[in-house]
Structure 1
Amino acid sequence: MAHRPVRPGRRWNGVVLSVGILIVLGVLAALGARWLVQRDAPLPISTPWGPECSAWVGEETVPLEREQARRATTAAAVIAQGDDAPVEAPDTGDIPQEVMDVLVDGPEDDAGPSLTCRSTKNPDLRPEDEEPSGLTPRAERLKESVEEHFAEPSLGGFVPGGYDTGHGEGSAHYEGRALDIFYRPVNEDNRRAGWIMAHWLIAHAPEHDIDVIIFDDRIWSTYFPSLGWRDYEADPDNEILRHLDHVHVDVQAGEEPAGEG
């Protein structure tokens, strides 16, 4: 049987079409997974295209560039701290006022999240050893930045010499990569303060190589960068495990170069 040759152009068109279909299916799968884990509490997501961040104002999604999100969350932190703020608020004239309002005060009927950003792992990072403080250099830099922008934050999750017990299996605390920022007691005012911190962290995630943020029954990570804040399951009777009284944040571990142990 004779076979007609396929022109190269047709072959490449088929490849492009197949790749396009796979991309669309991947996006739909991601959105479907997010719907499954958050179908009872829709939250903003950051699609794999367009601006890196987005805020929710009522039922409206407002896209933000990363630099806008950094300024908006810093300004929100300054406004919330009032005269105690250790830095001045950056200009937010290009950011809708309703976005600033929800970042400062939280959603109208709940203190939950109202901003998300997508971030991926930095492939150029290398593993770091703990310093005498019990933190790696990356985690130490994150701690210093938190202290620079927030007045007397209640920090924990690390001890000189490092932890070898007291946290869950595989915890980043054991590697000196994690901080806990406490907001006690658990009440609505502290929830709002905790979300201001969580929003600031997610907006600044790339510059601090942040890997995971957990707070108030929600988790964000570079493992699912476009899914935003997902449900975090823990013992419903344990405020600490649910991260109701503290924001947990850890920095990326880094990877050994190929061929090295």
Structure 2
Amino acid sequence: MTHRAVRPERRWYRLAIAVAVLVVLGVIAAVGVRWLSRNSDAFPMSTPWGPDCAVWTGEEQVRLDRDQARRATTAAAVAVQGDGAPLGAPDTSDIPDAVMTLLEEGPEEDAGPSLTCRSTKNPGLEVQEDLEPSGLTARAQRLKDGLDEHFSDLSLGGYHPGGYDTGHGEDSAHYEGRAIDIFYRPVNEENRREGWVMAHWLIAHAPDYEIDVIIFDDRIWSTYYPSLGWRDYEAADPDNEILRHLDHVHVDVQRGLEASAEG
């Protein structure tokens, strides 16, 4: 059986077609990102390239590296807590004033979200099944310790000594001691604002505490879709404030080698 050789000009033709397709796809992607960056309803969003974090000021997207996001959200948390803050505010002189004002006070017509960051799963983590005296895994306990270090007078729940086996949704991370609920009650604009300060701090520090999922105020962020930022969260009962996570920020840490479920 003989094989016909491909003519050089055909090879170049095929290569040119492939390059043209890639160029077209690149243009479509660039236009899509540019459109999203001008659409306030679609933000915040962090693209898979460039700095990890993004803030949507309502007029433009401001990109922050991870260290800037950590410092900005920590400074915002200190400002909101006032004299009761356990720690002082870090230097934020390299971060635009508009970003800091937004993180501290929120958008004029809405509490948030204003910032997102991308963070992926750590493939090297081992599954933690043993619980600390608190009822949390060691990884979740480290997150709790971090919260206690940076925030005062927190109302925490979603865990207890010995762990939970009922009271939460199916396959909830609470049953494994991997989740913490941070309550902001009653549901009102002031508490909603403080809840978003916390949610922003968590997303900025996600890699530090191996955070997997954050849910608050009908929004969800997770390491499953890190570049999509805050997505709409659909509760099983749209009339239930607790299931919609309106009165608390839910955060859970990564389980380890096995995949975990959102929520």
Does residue 191 of the first structure (1) align with residue 211 of the second (2)?
A: no
Partner in structure 2 of residue 92 of structure 1: 92
- For the residue of structure 2 that corresponds to 1:141, the secondary structure is helix
- For the residue of structure 1 that corresponds to 2:61, the secondary structure is strand
1:99-129 per-residue CA deviation (whole Å, 9 max, x = no partner) reads: 0000000001111210000000000001002
**How many matched pairs?**
248
Q: 1:134 to 1:195 in 2, by over 3 A?
A: same
Higher Cα Rg, which structure: 2
Give distance in 1, aligned partners of 2:161 and 2:44. 38
Partner in structure 1 of residue 253 of structure 2: 251
Q: 1:193 to 1:175 in 2, by over 3 A?
A: same
Partner in structure 2 of residue 127 of structure 1: 127
Give distance in 1, aligned partners of 2:26 and 2:142. 38
Partner in structure 2 of residue 237 of structure 1: 239
1:201-257 per-residue CA deviation (whole Å, 9 max, x = no partner) reads: 00000010000000000000000000000000112210000000000000000016x
How far off is 1:41 after superposition?
A: 3.2
Q: CA RMSD in A?
A: 2.8
Does residue 79 of the first structure (1) align with residue 79 of the second (2)?
A: yes
Partner in structure 1 of residue 261 of structure 2: none
- For the residue of structure 2 that corresponds to 1:41, the secondary structure is helix
Provide the TM-score with structure 2 as the length reference.
Answer: 0.86
- Percent identity reads 67
1:159-196 per-residue CA deviation (whole Å, 9 max, x = no partner) reads: 10000000000100000000000000000000000000
After TM superposition, the structure 1 = structure 2 runs for residues 122-161 of structure 1, keeping only pairs within 5 Å, are 122-129=122-129, 130-161=131-162
Partner in structure 2 of residue 259 of structure 1: none
Does residue 218 of the first structure (1) align with residue 219 of the second (2)?
A: yes
- What residue ranges of structure 1 are gaps of 5+ in the alignment? 257-261
- What residue ranges of structure 2 are gaps of 5+ in the alignment? 259-263
Give distance in 1, aligned partners of 2:27 and 2:241. 38
How far off is 1:5 after superposition?
A: 6.7
Does residue 2 of the first structure (1) align with residue 4 of the second (2)?
A: yes
Does residue 41 of the first structure (1) align with residue 75 of the second (2)?
A: no
Give distance in 2, aligned partners of 1:110 and 1:202. 19
Structure 2 counterpart of 1:137, which letter?
Answer: A
How far off is 1:40 after superposition?
A: 9.2
- For the residue of structure 2 that corresponds to 1:213, the secondary structure is strand
- For the residue of structure 2 that corresponds to 1:226, the secondary structure is helix
Q: 1:41 to 1:152 in 2, by over 3 A?
A: same
**Do the aligned partners of 2:40 and 2:58 also contact (CA within 8 Å) in 1?**
no
- For the residue of structure 1 that corresponds to 2:203, the secondary structure is helix
Give distance in 1, aligned partners of 2:212 and 2:24. 27
Does residue 114 of the first structure (1) align with residue 114 of the second (2)?
A: yes
Structure 1 counterpart of 2:171, which letter?
Answer: G
Structure 2 counterpart of 1:221, which letter?
Answer: S
How far off is 1:133 after superposition?
A: 1.6
Q: 1:26 to 1:153 in 2, by over 3 A?
A: farther
Structure 1 counterpart of 2:63, which letter?
Answer: P
How far off is 1:26 after superposition?
A: 11
